[in-house]
A and B are shown apart, each in its own frame.
Chain A
């Protein structure tokens, strides 16, 4: 296809779109175009628009440089109050100018242009620009992830009223060279907000998304971030502590005695004004055994240590020896008795962390002999003799990127490079279900805190919500522009948060499947997410070691924790009482953050300015280095002991 004919073809396509048959035929005749040529062309609509509107500037690549310079000067000379907001325009304009230069085959100019202005762009865009610089001809726009995203989506820019009126005035002055006007009209979504222009820090805190900031409308929906009312569970508050070890396996413990409960336990079932209705999404009925497990959890919780800056937790570190780089992920079950590790050689290993060994179920013919009505049927169906301290699960055919125990430690989920999610039974130690649906590697899988549901995310840019008994996803959350690297269930199971390589964190409603929050501000890929215990805050850890705390109620960043980690964050965990946040990173350190201070600070902060992240060194309480062991997982036990998992990496 000759380059001259691109605009002609675009016109043809446009004519066809509006069904102007007569004109189309005439044009075909005049341009001597056959039908065959036409089929090869399927330009994006936006591209057509840009081709047509910018047609007359096509021949002059020099206008681009000039236009960009003018825009830059305008931003520099504008009032301080809107300077920083306006400066967010520069990057999208720059990118689209580059793309249109490529589109019109001015390759030399394009690379010169990139050379000249590329280095001026924000640091967090440099990776994108490097990828963009691979695009050296218009055919490659299709193959390039970034270029495709930019040409098919609009870049979000938020401007105050002042700034936008200034911009309008500027654009009117620029009538002579319509390059910028075209780009702003076609590729940039300007979101005007009332109120004063934002400061540099404010702008920076939300900048960084692949397509700019989240628009205000996106975050308008009300999110029920409160916790669900816990089902009433009879708890024996006076269970003697010695019992604990032996009751592990005996279901028929006395339940009659209804002892007085702690006031701590009584307070809990309080109605949260922000909580969703309990039946908003159907939750599974608690089974008898699950209730026991819950009761045990509550009892344990009553013995919990209150953490704070004065009382730091003890950390028990589990080192995986001889694992090298093969161990990829780890999870510890809620009651801290089991640990699962996923390996790059497709296996999953489960270790017991207590003296109770891992037992399998009896064989089928033996199971038939058991009286199903017996009270201790659950004990009887297990094999009598103790088994190993470690069991291996085989089934995946690629590296296992995440494992997760269900809240009642009967089941285990794992996701892998082979694009499947597998559900394993921890009683018969076999794979129960293979969930197929993702197209490419599955990066993350998480259980709902109430069991039954789980959510997975992967390279196919979607996150999917599943129920264990359905082999197909209940919801597909699509909208991310790049890999969805991590997911997390909200404590009330009604929402799912996802973090992605497009540097946004999004919150999805499980009921409607809609996206209810888009949170921008990360400058690198997001690798881990964690909801606070109260459900209002979301912590996200990124590839550069940055941690951002988000307020779910508004979708705004509450605090960007100071950058003390210098390698990707791999895991985040809130203490059970919500007072501390712990972060683990590939730089072989665990850091403890004072979350009470962080959230208080933001509450005070809201009075002065709406969204200013506070970078205070005082948030960091302690940092613990491990011996060359990058962190895989952090887990607070019910009594607030911190368990950490890492694999010793002797070589480096």
Chain B
């Protein structure tokens, strides 16, 4: 058998013949007999397979299945092989040893009583018929039943190698626009063809869609937003609008970070999430816009009006999860995405080269550059790293825990209310993130002294967490450090439980929204839920009214702590929206104001404050549909944040 390796037909080896012979009880099969058998068996097998191919073809398949072999055997008057019915391909196992290589089918022992007692398998769904339009007058509508106009693979290819698009002939199979009809003739009559990498023009329908979607995503109607996000997450054929969507998000984040408009940042992040979830889109080409936007939402110094009140932590958590999802999806060996993101976060955690033990909280401002990193950013960085997995936590957070502890200690003992809150959050987060990792790397006798020595200020608390983890029968991999990428836990920006004397101005509180609170002259208006109250002040304003009606329930994801997540309706009434704003800073001297009123339920024992702060107008980077501010006052929109629950 010298030609076993030849291109023309392999054949069974003598060894396999001998093995098969042994398995049926023939011990000493001669060489000649084995060769003769191998030849013959090979021949017969090939004839059978050749006929089976015909059955496969007529079953309109491209994959040979066991039934094809059965039919082929039947046509040769050989009894079919029973018991090989497999839903998927044959699970051949490979084993080698003693100089022999062997492929075999793993046969599992089946416990009959188990089979009998098991519930019967589900009845398969009945075959049904469904009709849809694959094409209407030669144009393929982009409905979910049709494939996306540009497949994910080709989007991917395009992002890697944009030249391919130029070299491709006329797009006869790009289903988006027909090359036939008048358009084709017009195109043909043009004398100059400028081939473009991307189609820049959107059809009227697409423009309309874009307008509607962006409007709904950042608008006030929660129902519409849900629909819009659903559309973004599911609809095929969005890739033509993708550049615009991404620019919208990126610009929106830029502007709203400056304006500290938490709600809009959240909406924009939800748009990112929806786009990431869309199966038919490939976002790699737009990561340069998305990643800065997302990372801004993680580590930005300030994301909301009053850091001591608003739950910007949730936004940071959510954005960190998004970042982890992006990393997981798009990381390749060429773009080193995860490495770069990790570096970005870990730089924020960079501790000064020599830790100064005397560095107290009061000295923060006098410390080196890195010492100035605000606690909120540290929190974001920690969260961002934590989402990337326990390994990252071990390498990048754990070594800096001593320094972080000092920062926290300083902030907690300090006077700034916001700082104390941030420090509390950071501490809580660090403990949550670190405990599972520390549990893995340290051996059981958990001595508080050891921990103190090794981890500094956070040591004892960490030790408590770890020993609690050890005692609790949690799942082995359990812990917050494992990045959960796909789930979408509730993101709840809402009233936070404030530290004592948090806001500069405390206004009377209201448990319900239906009351109007008047305070501080013309600047502050708390509107009722009445859909169209007339705003008393002519300058455009934005009102954020947050109310909490039920007792806050601690979210399992965040555990106990100082953060209170509420699932209560939060109403942001944005009455004016300036048209597309490019500048990100406060513009003009006649600045509109923003009023934030937070109402807390009476059950809460903590003093509830109603903070009103002065701020530049909230600017939403909306497309052209934004109303002119000079227009007669339209009814204000009520923006309900309760969706975030």
Contacts and interface: CB of A to CB of B under 8 A. Distances in A.
Nearest to B131: A318
A615 B441 CA distance: 68
Interface string A406-418: 0000000000010
A586 to B, nearest CB: 6
A118 interface: yes
Q: Is the interface of B mostly helix, strand, loop or mixed?
A: loop
B57 A111 contact: no
A644 B135 CA distance: 11
Interface stretch (A259-267, A293-301, A325-333): A325-333
B163 interface: no
B62 interface: yes
Given A441-B75, A570-B60, A622-B180, A617 B169 contact: yes
A313 B71 contact: no
Given A339-B129, A441-B55, A315 B134 contact: yes
A134 B59 contact: no
B137 A320 contact: no
A632 B75 CA distance: 25
B125 A630 contact: no
A537 B125 CA distance: 43
A249 B389 CA distance: 69
A625 B173 contact: yes
B535 interface: no
Given A312-B178, A622-B178, A134 B54 contact: no
A323 B127 contact: yes
A328 B133 CA distance: 22
Interface string A311-353: 1111111111111011111000000000100011000010101
B76 to A, nearest CB: 10
Contacts of B46: 131, 134
B67 interface: yes
Given A398-B71, A620-B172, A317 B43 contact: no
B146 A627 contact: yes
B71 A625 contact: no
B7 A119 contact: yes
A316 B127 CA distance: 19
A136 B46 CA distance: 13
Interface in B356-408: none
Interface residues of B, number: 51
B348 to A, nearest CB: 44
Nearest to B71: A417
Contacts of A320: 127-129
Given A459-B75, A617-B169, A118 B8 contact: yes
A596 to B, nearest CB: 14
Contacts of B75: 440-441, 459
Given A118-B7, A322-B127, A401-B58, A625 B175 contact: yes
B62 A133 contact: no
A520 B50 CA distance: 22
Contact of B57 (A112, A317, A543, A589): A543
B216 to A, nearest CB: 27
The interface centre, meaning the residue of A144, A353, A525, A624 with most chain B CB atoms within 10 A of its CB, is: A624
Contacts of B43: 134-136, 140, 143-144
Given A118-B8, A319-B145, A623-B172, A586 B140 contact: no
Nearest to A594: B180
Interface string B164-202: 000001001101001111000000000000000000000
Contacts of B98: none
B132 interface: yes
A483 B173 CA distance: 34
Contact of A133 (B8, B67, B129, B130): B8
Nearest to A111: B3
B39 interface: yes
B608 to A, nearest CB: 53
Contacts of B162: none
B332 interface: no
A590 B71 CA distance: 30
A417 B52 CA distance: 12
Interface string A165-181: 00000000000000000
Contacts of A150: none
B61 to A, nearest CB: 6
A327 B60 CA distance: 9
Contact of B130 (A144, A313, A319): A319
Given A312-B180, A321-B127, A627-B145, A443 B134 contact: no
B71 A111 contact: no
B128 to A, nearest CB: 5
A321 B8 contact: no
B146 to A, nearest CB: 6
A398 to B, nearest CB: 7
B529 interface: no
B32 to A, nearest CB: 14
6 contacts: A133-B8, A312-B135, A313-B135, A321-B127, A441-B75, A627-B147
The 10 closest A-B CB pairs, nearest first, are A312-B138, A133-B8, A623-B173, A317-B134, A315-B134, A315-B135, A322-B125, A133-B9, A627-B147, A111-B3
